[in-house]
């Protein structure tokens, strides 16, 4: 699933390509996404100028000059493709927006767990956005806030960090990485994470996310290929996907376990 750095990479690419351009056409295919589009979506967006794209957690928003905003969530397998020429849609291209300069923004989603919505002027009244906790790069996400959220919780720290109602934008990859560098086991209960550890964890989460954004994300890099697709690359990770490999801090073998249906990677020596 695309996480905060990947969505921020997409936001930056969209800003370069479509900011202050007019929507002249919109297409949605017959195959349903996770949720149906709002009524009159096409009529409400055609003719609108897109302002500077925004990001909230894992959501990308395209503000319109009317005050409304197109909200895009990529789900498990969603991708954004940008092209400056009309092309035949692929099997999993479910929607596109055409702009007055000939640019197309195409929404591709093989598993169709993502969705597109239209928000009012205040995005925090949107039924999806209002459920989110503070963005993981925001000032509101700090050591005091995290410690308050963890203080009485029996849940495992990894599952808490993946809860978008507590902190928005984090996913499995970066939580694994942050817990490793913070020397916290994914099995540790929330109530057993001290304020000092919360300070370290928040600092490491933000540093990892910022560095991943600079690198273009773990799965997407911000450049345009001739066919209009965003480029892909794999950055070096500390523990994620490295089961059986040596820990870069102590040389013990990285372990792999399942937690709530998701794979956790950690060092049993460094992380307690």
Catalytic residues: 2-3, 58, 262
Distance in angstroms (rounded) separating the CA atoms of residues 271 and 219:
26
Tokens read off for 202 = 């928040």
Whole-angstrom distance between the N-terminal and C-terminal Cα of the chain? Answer: 27
Helix, strand, coil: what percent of the chain each, to 5? Answer: 25, 25, 45
Contacts of 28 (CB under 8 A, 6+ apart): 37, 41, 42, 94, 95, 116
Please say whether the beta carbons of 135 and 57 come within 8 A: yes
Segments in 96-156 forming alpha helices (H):
143-150
Relative to beta strand 262-267, strand 221-224 is unpaired
Contacts of 155 (CB under 8 A, 6+ apart): 189, 190
């Amino acid at each position: 699933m695309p996480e905060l750095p990947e969505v921020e990479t997409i936001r930056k690419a969209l800003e370069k390509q479509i900011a202050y351009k007019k929507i002249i056409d919109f297409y949605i295919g017959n195959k349903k996404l996770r949720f149906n589009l709002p009524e009159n979506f096409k009529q409400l967006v055609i003719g609108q100028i897109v302002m500077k794209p925004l990001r909230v957690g894992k959501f990308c928003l395209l503000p319109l000059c009317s005050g409304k905003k197109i909200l895009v969530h990529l789900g498990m397998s969603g991708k954004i493709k940008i092209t400056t020429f009309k092309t035949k849609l692929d099997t999993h291209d479910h929607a596109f927006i055409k702009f007055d300069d000939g640019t197309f923004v195409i929404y591709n989603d093989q598993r169709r767990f993502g969705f597109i919505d239209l928000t009012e002027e205040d995005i925090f009244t949107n039924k999806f956005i209002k459920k989110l906790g503070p963005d993981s790069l925001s000032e509101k996400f700090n050591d005091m806030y995290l410690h308050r959220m963890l203080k009485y919780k029996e849940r495992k720290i990894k599952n808490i960090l993946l809860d978008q109602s507590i902190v928005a934008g984090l996913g499995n990859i970066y939580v694994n990485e942050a817990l490793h560098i913070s020397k916290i086991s994914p099995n540790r209960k929330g109530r057993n994470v001290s304020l000092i550890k919360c300070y370290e964890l928040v600092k490491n989460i933000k540093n990892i996310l910022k560095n991943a954004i600079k690198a273009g994300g773990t799965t997407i890099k911000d450049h345009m290929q001739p066919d209009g697709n965003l480029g892909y690359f794999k950055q070096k990770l500390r523990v994620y996907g490295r089961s059986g490999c040596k820990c870069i801090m102590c040389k013990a073998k990285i372990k792999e376990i399942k937690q709530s249906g998701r794979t956790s990677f950690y060092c049993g020596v460094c992380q307690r």
